Structure 1
Amino acid sequence: MRIVFLITSLHGGGAEFVARTWADTLQAGGDDVSIAIASGSADGSERWTKVPVTALGSGRSAQIKALRSLLAMERVDVVVSLQTYPNLIALTALRSLGDGHRPLHLISERNLVSLGMKGASRSHRLKIAVARRLYRRADHAVAISHPVAAELVSWFNVDGDKCTVVPNPATSKPGLLEPTYVKAVNATDTITLVLPSRLVKQKQPLLALHVAHELNRRGLAARVVSFGEGPLLDACFRTARELNVEFEHAGWEEEWFVKTPSNSVVLLPSLREGFGNVLVEAACAGLPSVALSAALGTADAVVPGLSGQLSASADPAVIADAVLACAELSESDLYPWLSRFTPESSTKDLRDLVVRLQSRVVSGR
């Protein structure tokens, strides 16, 4: 099968990581796979992937033309585009290809777009308005989680029978052992709240400091360690001083889960999440985690009572309760759940979906 993945760039975010993982795994299984990128150069691509990479150049019109030429010349069977801008580039390029040369097209969203519209720029709002008109034209939509799938159907007007959740290959970095148990936190010892996320507004890192302060107020020892970078770093240090909370900035670490202190709870207090890879990574490493239920996508990445807890509110006191509830986690083998997120299982789910869709095209259904 000849497959092209279209992404914004080779690296820099979760969508790029997922596309590279799928592409490399599919190629290892015998498929003919390549990646097209909408920004940057293909030079040095071997650092990131084992498959060929084509740069589409700069400018929307040039990128559409380059993608159209690539698809027509290489007789591609399937195009998988990830995130809004690549989705729109692919949808536009494919419209002008004749039916005899038109590959199957799967779009994919990786975040909850509607929750990020408040305060968005005019250009972003326009891009999303176009997506809401065009997404229904794709052959199928792949969602990172069930909340994202619900948004694709209810907000982007994708038919429900043309939308499928494919679990993220989130165990790629930590690996997965059988059995896998999450260790309950010891509330009588110092609790380290671990922030393995960017220090940006959407991730609400300052909230972790207020949770640590609440735990300290209750007479419990708590501190915060950040494995992220971002514009709110200075605000984190300032808030830590104001609240008299110990804050350590460890800097970005790709394998943050092997450098967490003992008796840690991973905290992801984001406003919104399409999924939350770090929550699965935490479980693979035996670390309990807490996330906000209102972030929605986190519900697919936490098993409450087993791998961690979902906080019903962004109130620091409620989150502190969820952290302490991680002392009561049941000791259960999480391997059956986590195995859904291995690169092999995730890629198989994607390929099986493509094969089903191709068989429908052949049969005329």
Structure 2
Amino acid sequence: MNRIKAGVPRRAGRRVLAIGLPTVWGAIAITYKMACPLAQQNGFGARIVTSAVFFAVGTGLIVHVRQALLRELRQVRRVAGAAQSVLLRPLPPRIDGLHVSAAQLSAERGAVIGGDLYEVIATEHGVRAVMGDVRGHGLAAIGTVAAVLGSFREAVHDEPDLGGVLRRLERALARHLRERARAAPDSPVAEEFITVLLLEIGPDGEMHALNCGHPWPYRLTGTHVEPLTHADPLPPLGPFPLPPDLPAVPCGQLKPEEALLLYTDGAEDARDAHGRFFPLPIVLTEALSDGVNTPQPLLGTVFTQLLRHTAGRLTDDVALLVLRNERTQVHYNAPIGARGTARATTHNPQPTNHPQRNGV
């Protein structure tokens, strides 16, 4: 039995219209010029009519081309939106007692995806998050984002420590770059790199992180904003191999009602017309002082101030991720777990009036 895809006749019809309408308009103009007696006259009135006919033909062609381009643009945006929903899938508003919200802005006008990546997943090892920034833009960057995120989503469940997760990401990136080099020998894959921040938040709020060239998150406590840690990061993934030992950096405890803001460097590197950098810590402090401390409104405030600072002209992609601890109680129960730490159970309040979708 032969199967015919439903979209084929529709696409064929569009091709016929794309070719047929300009042909019809051209045939009308030629027929008028060759067959209409009025077009053969040289009087002033005849010239006005002839000009009007050709003006109408030209206008029709322009309108047709414009509509065809708009249809193509809408199709490209639908495809890009579908790609974004797979790569940067919307995060649930709550993950294991953490209130979560994330969003990103692309520096390219009309684009919906770029070289930034983020993900948050609850595992038996704790809530694990990644924030990354791929060098460059376009399809090559999107392919790298897909490779790294795919590896992260599997590794966080398999690897008992963050060092194992990071090595899995390094191997996935290396495989992706080798495949790109084989497919396009002239592509400068040797210059490709990605900054990555891995974060783990245990049931008791204890945090550990591994950082490869990425900005450290900000801890938001009341109206106070400070970097999560001042430890030196590792080099970005790609140009240099990871060291043999990868101990995670202890970052203290995320207490109830405290939050973290993870971001890509496009936020703090954004400049205004006078070359001044975007004051992200100041904007966060002012927002917290005004009572804006829940994730989604906080993201909206930061993005609004960022666009105002740059007059809407971003030069780099920006991604933001807020994790707020809304666990109210922590109970420690014996016996000791297999990883050598007391097992903790948390009481998480039921969400009320939380946003139904992620983003700004």
TM-score above 0.5, yes or no: no
More strand by share: 2
Tell me which structure has the larger Cα radius of gyration: 2
Higher relative contact order (CA 8 A, sep 6+): 2
